[in-house]
Structure 1
Amino acid sequence: MPLCAAESARQYRKRRDANPEQREAYLRKERERWRKDRDTGKKKCINDLTEREKRSQRKKWKEAKKAARAKARAIVEFQTPEPLELDCPPQLGPSRQRLQGEKSRERRKKKIMKELKELKAKLAKEKRKGEKYKKRYQRMKREAPSVSPQSKVRELVKGQKVRSPIKRALLFHTTLVENIRQKYRNAKTERERQLIARVTSGSILKKYRLQKYTQKAFGYSKKRNATLSVDLCATIKRKESGAALEIKRKVRSFYLRDDVSRMTPGCKQTITRQKKKMQKRLLTDTLKNLHRKFLSEQHGQLSYSTFCRLRPFWVVTPTEADRNTCLCKTHENTQLMANALHSHGILSTKSIEDMADSIMCDSKGKACAYSECRECLFSVYQTLKQPGEAEVCVAQWTTERIHKEDKSSMITVKRDLVTTESDLVSQFQERLSRFKQHIFNIRWQYTAYRQIRETLKADECMLHIDFSENYLCKYRQEIQAVHFGGSHQQATLHTGVLYTAEDQSPLSFCSISPSRRHDPTAIWAHLDPVLGMIRQRFPEVKKLHFFSDGPATQYRQKGNFYLLSTEPYKLGFENINWNYFEAGHGKGAPDGVGGALKRSADRAIKHGEDIPNALILYERLKSTNSSVELFYISEDYVESKPEIPAIAPIKGTMRVHQVLSVSPGKLKYRDITCLCKREAGMLDCPCYQLMDATVSEEHNHAPAFDGTNETRWRPQFIEAKHIGEWCVVNYEDEAYPGIIIKVEEHTIMVKCMHRNGINKFFWPSPREDITWYADQQILCLITEPQALNKRSVQIDKASWRYIEEQFR
C-alpha cells in the first residue's frame, strides 16, 4: 500500500536528519533562505513590525508555546509506564506544581531585575542632583561677600598686644591682596589675567616658597600657578615691525601663487574662519619642499616653523577627499619611477625636480633645459649603487588601444610593469632628460605670468581664462524620468579674471551659454562681450595679454591662432599676446570663479528655485548681485559666427608657449614666453628663435600659415589615438619606419627598424631600437610594410615616393 504524502515527507525528513552531512546542508540552506527573506523584507524582526503586528505575533508565540508544552506533557504521560511494585520508584517527568513554581520564580526574578534597574536610574539621578547642588554651593561660597580687610586684621591680632605700625602693615597687606584678587576675578580677557599673574609672580616669591600661598590668596588655578614662572605675556600680540610685515606679505603671496597652490573648482570646496569664507587652495608639494623653494627664490633666512605658521588658512594640504583628478601624466610617471628606485636604495631622493636641476648647468637657462647645452647634454643623475638585474615592479599610466568587435578605442589605465633595475634606471635617466624641459616650462611660464601681472601699464590688461566644467542644470524637485534620464540640460561656463593697471583689484567675469561647443569659434564668441566691456571701461587699453592652458582642441590650435590675429583688431586693439601654461599645469584663479558661481546656483536650488537651462542660470546669478561680471551667450550667436577657413597648422604647435600678433593677419610664435623688451613696448624681440606665420586673404583665397601643410600622409598632431600605427621617422636625414608605442605631449616613442638597402628594412636583434622623437621628426603615417624576403620588408611605393620628396 503506497504511503500518503505526509508520511513520505516524514520519512524523508527522518532519513535526512539521520545523516549529519545532509542535516548540516539542509540547515545551511535554510539559514541562507532566511537571510535572503530578511534582506528582501519578506521576513521581519519583531522590532520592524508595527505595534498591532507585534501584539499579534506575540499572541501567536504564546499559543504555540502553550501547545508545545501541552504536547510535551502528553508525550511524557504517554511514555510513562505503569508503576511497578519494585524497590525503586519509576522516573517521572517534572510535575505540574514544579513547572508552575519555575514560572513563578521567573516572574519574580524579572520583577526584581526591573525594580533594580529603576532604582539604579533613580540613584544616578539623585547623585547628579547632589553634585549640582554641591557645585552651586561652592560657587555661592566663592562669590559670597568676603570678610573685610579690617576684620581679617582684627582676627589676626585678637588677644595680642600689637603696635600700631604692625597693624597698619597688616591692613595694607590684606587690602592689597583683596584688591588684586578682586581685579583678577573680574578680568574679562585672558590678556588681563596674564598681566596680573605676571606682576604678582617672580623669583622672590619662589625663593621664600610662597607660591602656593600666592595661589590661595589671589585665587589662581593650579594650572595658572604651575606656569607662573613662564613669561605669560609672551603670547600677547605686539605691533609688528616693518620687516616682519614684509616677510609676512612675501610668504602669503608665495603661498597664493598658482605654481605653489592650485585653486579648487568645486562649489563645496570652501573653508571658513572667523566668518571669512574662502575658496580652498591645495598645496602642490610638501611644506618642506616649498620652504626650500621659498628660500632659494627669496635668498633670505626664515625658519620652517614660521613659514608654516604664516600659511593662509584657506591654503591646505590635500586629503583623500581633495583627490586630484587633473594630474600631469609626465609628472606622475616620472615620480612613480623615482619612488620605485628610491625604495630599492638606488636613488638618494624622491624629489624629481631636484634631480632635474642637478643634471643642468643652469636650471634657469633654456639651452640646458632643452638639451642644447653641450656641457650638460649627456649629464645623468648619479645613483647610489650600480643597478643589478633584480626585478622591480613600477606603476605607470599608459594609453592602450582596445578592440571590441569591429570598433577600437583608446583608454588610459594604470599598469604595474615588471622590469629589471638596470632597465628601469636607463628608462628613468632618459625620462629625466626630457622632464627637465617640462619643469623648466612650468617655472618659466608662471614667472612670466607674475611678471606681467605685477608690471601692467596703463595701456595693457591681462586676461587669465579657462573653461569651467559644464554646470548640470536641475530642479528643486524632480520626477524619476528627469532625474535618471537624459533630460537635464548643461550650461557652458567660460570663466576668467581681468587684471589692469588702473584697477588694483582683479575683475572676475564669466560668460554662460547653452552651447556646448569649446572650439575656437565658441571661444571668441565668449570673448566678444568681454573685449567690448574692456573697450568701454578701459578705453586706454590697447594691448591684450592672454594666459590659458594649452589643450590642442581649444586654445592652442591653428583656428585660435587665426582668430587672435584678426578678431581683436576689429575692436581697436593693437597688440595681442597669448601665452600658454605647460600642459597639465594650467590651474588658476578662473577655477575659483567657476566654483563660486556653481555654489551660488546650488544654494538657489536648495532654497526652492528651479534652474532648468542656461538662460535662467544667468538670470538667477545676475539677481544675486554677484561681484563676478556675467554675460549670456546664446546658442544662435555661437552658431552665427563665421567658420574658420581651411588653413594649415604651425609646425610644432605643441611646443609653442607664446603667440604674438602686432598687425592684422600676421603672427609670430616661440617655444617660451619672452618679456625682455616689454618695457620698451616690444614683445616681438628675436629671442628664443622667434618664428613668423602669415595669414593672407587676398582674392578670397584660403589663408595659410607658413609651415608644413597637413596632408593625408601626416596629421596635424600625433596623438594617443595613433598608438600602434606605423610611421616614418627622420633621424639624421634618413628615413626609418617604426611603430608608435607612446605619445606624451610633443614627444613620441617609436620602435624603429634598421636599414639594409634602399627601401629595405629589418628588425634589429637581440636588442630593440626604441627611442623618443620630437613631433616634427615624424614624417608621415604609413601602412604596415610588406615582406620582401624572410628578413626584410619594404614600404609601399606611393609612400616611399612621398618620403623621398621630403629629403630633396
Structure 2
Amino acid sequence: MPLSRAEIQKGYRERKKAKEGESYLRKERTRRMKYCSLSRVVNQGKKTKKQTECRAKVHPNVELSLATFCRMRPKHILNTSMISRSCCLCTKHQNMALLLRCLKSNGIQVPLNPESFMKQTDQPNLQDKLPDDVKYSQWKRIEVTEKGKTKNVTRIVELNAEKKLFIESFQAQLKEFESHVFRVRRQYQEIKSLKDKLPKHHFIVQMDFAENYSCKSNEEIQSAYWNMTSVTLHPIVVYFMNTDMKLEHQSFVVVSDELSHSAITVHGILEKMIPKLKEIDEDVEMIHYWTDGPTSQYRNKQVFFTIANHKEIFGVQARWNYFEAGHGKGPCDGLGGTTKRMADEAVRSGRTVIQHADDFFKLAVESNLKGIKFLFVSSDECKSAANILSARNVKPLQGTFKVHAVIGKGNSIVAWNEVSCHCDQCFLGDNPNFDHGWKVQSLNNRTNNLKINTGEDDKLAEEADKVMEQPPTTNERKIDLIDGEYVAAKYDRTWYIAKILQIDDSDEVEVTFMERKKQLFQWPARENILWIPVTDVICKVTEPVYTGKSKRMLKLLPEDKEKILNLFQ
C-alpha cells in the first residue's frame, strides 16, 4: 500500500535526525544554498534513470510519479537550474580554500572558508595529522600544447609534496593571505569613508574596462560568426555632492573602436570624461579615481605621471586609488552588463544590426537607458594620446606592484602608499602624514622637456630627490643589464626569453616577452610588455636567430639554453 505524504515526510525527518541510511542531501554550500540532484526537474516530464534510482533507494516500496515527486520537493532543496555558478573569483582566496579542503580531507577539522580559518585563535597541529606525502590542488598557469601550438592557460593542478614542505608552503601562503585580506578590507573601508565625508566640488570616479562586446546580427553567415568585430566598453560611475549636500551619482559608458586596454586608451578616456565632470560642477577641485590595478591599464608609470601633473594637464587635482587584486568588483560591472544586454535584446528583436563601434554607440544613445550617458572615443583620439605619452620621458615608480594609492603633487612628483588613507591630515592637508606609510618620488627624468610651473613646497621636492638618490634596499643586482639586450626571465613559475626596454634605477626592469613554441620562440601578435623585478632576470642570452623557411620562428643557442636550465633549476 503506498505511503501517504505525511508518512514520507516523517520518514525523511527521522533519517535526517539520526543521520543514518543513504542521504540524498549534499551538505556542501554554494553561495549559502543547498541543492540536490533529486530535485532536478525534467522539462519533458520523463523519468530519468538517476532520479528513479534515487527514489528507489530512499523509498523502495513507494510508487511515485515524477510530477508528485517534484511537487513534494521541500523548499530548501533547490533545482539545479537555481544554483548559481561562481566565476571571476580571487585566486588567493580560491587557492587558500583548496588548501583547507586538503586539510579537511585528511581528518583535520578546519572551516572551509579561508577568512573564517584566519580568525581562529588555535591553529591545527599539522605535523601530527598530515600524511608523509600530501596531495593537494592549486590554481596555476601551466604550459599546454594544442594542435602543435604552445600556450599558457590557468587550470587546477594536482600537486604532491612532502609533509614538511607542504606545511612551510601553507604557512607562507597563510601569511600572504592575511596581508591580502587586510588590503581588501582596508580599500573597501576607505571608499566607504570617502563617500561619507566627500566635500563639495570633489568627485569620486570609479571605473573599469568591461569585457568587449562582440558585434552580431540576428541572421548571419558562417564566416561572419568566426570573424566578429569587438567593441571596447569602459563603464564609469561618478559620485558627487549636490546642492543639498547629499551624495548623487551619474553613470557613463565610454564606447570605443580602440581594442587595446592600455594606458593610451585610459588617457584618451580621461580627456573625454573630465570636461563632462566640469559640466556637472564648474568649480571641481579634486578627482578621486578608484579602479582595479592591472599594470597594463591603470597601474603604470604613464598613469602615475598623469596623476603627478593632473593639475597642469586637466586643470584639477587628482588622487588615484586601487582595489586589491581580485576584489575590484563594483557598480561598473553591472553597468557594463546592462549596456550589453540592451544591445543583445535590440539585435534579437531585429530592430538593429551592430557591425562596429559606431553602430553600438548610435544604438546606445537612442536607447531607453536614459540614466546612462554614452561617450565615444575613436581610435584616432587614442593615437593622439599615444603621441602625447610617447613624448614623455618618465622614470618608473619604485615598488609599482605594491602601490594602492597615489597623490599628485605637481612637478612630476607623487606621494604613494601601500593602502589608501583618508584621515584628516592625509585627506585635507597639503601633504599626507608620512607616519602613515606615504613615500614620495619624482617621476621626472632630468632630460624631460615638460615645462610645469609649480608652487609646491621645496621640501617635498628635496625629499623626493633624496628618495631617488637612495640605493635600492632589495637584493643587489648580480647582472649588468643594458637596454636592448636579451635575457631569460622568470614569470609565473617558468622562464621566457625577453628583450629589455627600460631599466629602473631601483629594482625593476621593463621587458617585452616572446612566446614559447615547443623548442622555438616567436614574437606575439600583441606585445607582452611587463615590469618585472630585477631578481627575476635569470641571465643574459645571445639574441635568438631566425630559423625555418618562413623566418618567423627564432631559436636559442644550445649553450644559452643549457645555462638557463641550470640556473632556473
TM-score range, shorter chain: 0.5 to 0.7
Change (3 A) 1:629 1:779: same
For residues 490 and 591 of structure 1, the distance between their equivalents in structure 2, rounded to whole angstroms, comes to 18
In 2, distance between residues paired with 1:656 and 1:717? 26
Deviation readout 1:703-749 (Å, 9 max, x if unpaired): 9994879855999998735624699xxxxxxxxxxxxxxxxxxxxxx
Aligned to 1:692: 440
Q: Secondary structure at the match of 2:131?
A: coil
Gaps of 5+ in 1: 1-282, 289-315, 360-379, 728-774, 785-794, 800-808
Q: Spell out, residue by residue over 1:587-612, the C-alpha distance to the aligned partner (whole angstroms, 9 max, x if none).
A: 11001111111111112112221111
Is 1:333 the counterpart of 2:81? The answer is no
State the TM-score, normalized to the length of structure 1.
0.46
Q: Distance in 2 between matches of 1:501 and 1:284?
A: 39
Q: Structure 1 residues 593, 562: closer, same or farther in 2, change over 3 A?
A: same
Deviation at 1:781, TM superposition (A): 2.8
1:493 paired to 2:233: yes
| Residue identity opposite 1:429 in structure 2 | Q
Would you say the 8 A contact 1:493–1:512 is kept in 2? yes
Aligned residue in 2 for 1:8: none
1:465-484 alignment runs, 5 A limit: 465-483=207-225
User: Residues 565 and 667 of structure 1 are in contact (CA less than 8 Å); yes or no, is this contact kept in structure 2?
Assistant: yes
Match of 2:69 in 1: none
Which residue of structure 2 lines up, in the alignment, with residue 443 of structure 1?
185
AA in 1 matched with 2:314: L
Distance 1:639 1:319, change over 3 A: farther
Tell me, in whole angstroms, the C-alpha distance in 2 between the residues paired with 1:400 and 1:618.
39
Alignment map for 1:41-80 (pairs within 5 Å):
none
Partner of 1:647, secondary structure, is coil
User: Is contact 1:346-1:385 (8 Å) kept?
Assistant: no
> Who is 2:376 aligned against?
632
Other-structure match for 2:406 = 659
Which AA in structure 2 matches 1:648?
K
Q: 2:273 aligns with which of 527, 530, 533?
A: 530
For 1:778, the equivalent position in structure 2 comes to: 535
Which secondary structure state, in structure 2, belongs to the residue aligned with residue 386 of structure 1?
helix
Match of 1:508 among 251, 258, 265: 251
Q: Given the superposition, is the C-alpha separation of residues 438 and 721 from structure 1 closer, same or farther in structure 2, using an over 3 Å criterion?
A: closer
Q: Which amino acid aligns with 2:229?
A: Q
Partner of 2:295: 552
Q: Assess if the C-alpha contact under 8 Å between 2:394 and 2:444 holds in 1.
A: no
**Which stretch shows the higher mean deviation, 579-588 or 678-687?**
678-687
Which is higher, the Rg of structure 1 or of structure 2? 1
Do the aligned partners of 1:388 and 1:420 also contact (CA within 8 Å) in 2?
no
What is the CA distance between 1:566 and its match in structure 2?
Answer: 2.9
Structure-2 separation of matches of 1:717 and 1:447: 41
Instruction: For 1:564, give the aligned amino acid.
Output: I
Seen in structure 2, the aligned counterparts of structure 1 residues 419 and 779 have a Cα distance that, compared at 3 Å, is closer
Q: Write out per-residue CA displacement over residues 394-451 of structure 1, whole angstroms, 9 at most, x where no aligned residue.
A: 1111223457899754332211123355543332122101111111111111111111
SS in 2 for 1:467: coil
Which residue of 2 is the match for residue 323 of structure 1?
85
Evaluate the alpha carbon distance shift between residue 320 and residue 659 of structure 1 in structure 2; reply closer, same or farther with a 3 A threshold.
farther
Q: What is the DSSP-based 3-state SS (H/G/I as helix, E as strand, rest coil) of the residue aligned with 2:208?
A: strand
CA deviations 1:108-134 (Å, max 9, x no partner) are xxxxxxxxxxxxxxxxxxxxxxxxxxx
**1:452 maps to what in 2?**
194
- Mark the CA change 1:409 to 1:395 in structure 2 (over 3 Å): closer, same or farther: same
Q: Does the Cα contact within 8 Å between 1:347 and 1:383 map onto a contact in 2?
A: no
Root mean square deviation of aligned Cα: 3.9
Matched residue, 1:355: 117
Q: 2:238 is aligned with what amino acid?
A: L
Residue deviations 1:747-790, cap 9 Å, x none? xxxxxxxxxxxxxxxxxxxxxxxxxxxx8682743159xxxxxx
Give the structure with the larger strand fraction: 2
Match 2:156 to one of 385, 392, 414: 414
Q: Contact (CA 8 Å) 1:472, 1:491: kept in 2 or not?
A: yes
Gaps of 5+ in 2: 1-28, 35-77, 452-464, 499-531, 542-559, 565-569
C-alpha contact 2:490 2:536 (8 A) present in aligned 1: no
- Identical-residue share of aligned pairs (%): 24
Q: Distance in 1 between matches of 2:86 and 2:377?
A: 31
C-alpha contact 1:649 1:716 (8 A) present in aligned 2: no
Give secondary structure in 1 for the equivalent of 2:395. Answer: coil
Q: What per-residue deviation string (whole Å, max 9, x for no partner) do you get for residues 458-505 of structure 1? A: 02110110000111112232223322x31x221100111100012633
Deviations 1:290-339 (A, max 9, x none): xxxxxxxxxxxxxxxxxxxxxxxxxx999886433312221111110111
Residue 601 of structure 1 is aligned with which of 324, 329, 343?
343
Q: How many angstroms does 1:507 deviate by?
A: 0.8
Residue type at the aligned position of 2:194: I
Distance 1:516 1:658, change over 3 A: same
- The SS at the match of 2:345 is helix
Are 1:673 and 2:435 matched, yes or no?
no
Cα 1:777–1:482 shift into 2, 3 Å:
closer
CA distance in 1 between partners of 2:488 and 2:117 (Å): 31
Which has more helix, going by share of residues? 1
- Where 1:556 maps in the other structure, the secondary structure is coil
Per the alignment, do residues 322 and 638 of structure 1 end up closer, same or farther by CA in structure 2, a change over 3 Å counting?
farther
Q: Secondary structure at the match of 2:128?
A: coil
1:660–1:668 Cα contact (<8 Å) kept: yes
Higher RCO by CA contacts (8 Å cutoff, separation 6 or greater): 2
Does 1:461 find its partner at 2:203?
yes
Report how far residue 689 of structure 1 moved: 2.8
Partner of 1:587: 329
1:579 CA displacement: 0.7
Q: Is the 8 A contact 1:458 1:501 kept in 2?
A: yes
Q: Which amino acid aligns with 2:93?
A: H
> Partners of 2:285 and 2:343 in 1: how far apart?
35
Q: For 2:210, what is the secondary structure of its paired residue?
A: strand
Is 1:647–2:394 an aligned residue pair? yes
Distance 1:665 1:724 in 2: 35
Aligned positions of 1:121-132 closer than 5 A: none
Code of the aligned partner of 1:720: Y
Report the number of matched residues.
409
Q: Which residue is 1:128 aligned to?
A: none
Which residue pairs with 1:170 in the alignment? none
Q: Distance in 2 between matches of 1:431 and 1:624?
A: 48
Q: In 1, Cα distance between the equivalents of 2:100 and 2:153?
A: 25
Q: Which amino acid aligns with 1:692?
A: V
Q: Conserved in 1, the CA contact under 8 Å of 2:205 and 2:239?
A: yes
Please give the alpha-carbon distance, in whole angstroms, between the structure 2 residues aligned to 1:649 and 1:692: 13
Q: Deviations over 1:124-164 (max 9, x none)?
A: xxxxxxxxxxxxxxxxxxxxxxxxxxxxxxxxxxxxxxxxx
Distance 1:690 1:621, change over 3 A: same
Distance 2:319 2:187 in 1: 13
> 1:514, CA displacement in angstroms?
0.7
Aligned residue type for 1:685 = N
Q: Deviations over 1:320-374 (max 9, x none)?
A: 8643331222111111011110222224322321333446xxxxxxxxxxxxxxx
Query: Which has the higher mean CA deviation after the structures are superposed, 671-680 or 709-718?
Result: 709-718
**Alpha-carbon distance change, 455 to 416 in structure 1, aligned in 2, over 3 angstroms:** same
Q: Any residues of structure 2 matched to 1:124-143 within 5 Å, and which?
A: none
In the superposition, relative to structure 1, how do residues 337 and 506 fare at CA in structure 2: closer, same or farther (>3 Å)? same
What is the 5 A alignment of 1:745-760?
none
The Cα shift of 1:667 comes to: 0.9
* 1:634-688 CA distance string (max 9 Å, x none): 1111112223334332222111111110324211111111112256345622134
Q: Give distance in 2, aligned partners of 1:714 and 1:692.
A: 31
Equivalent residues of 1:675, 1:683 under 8 A apart: no
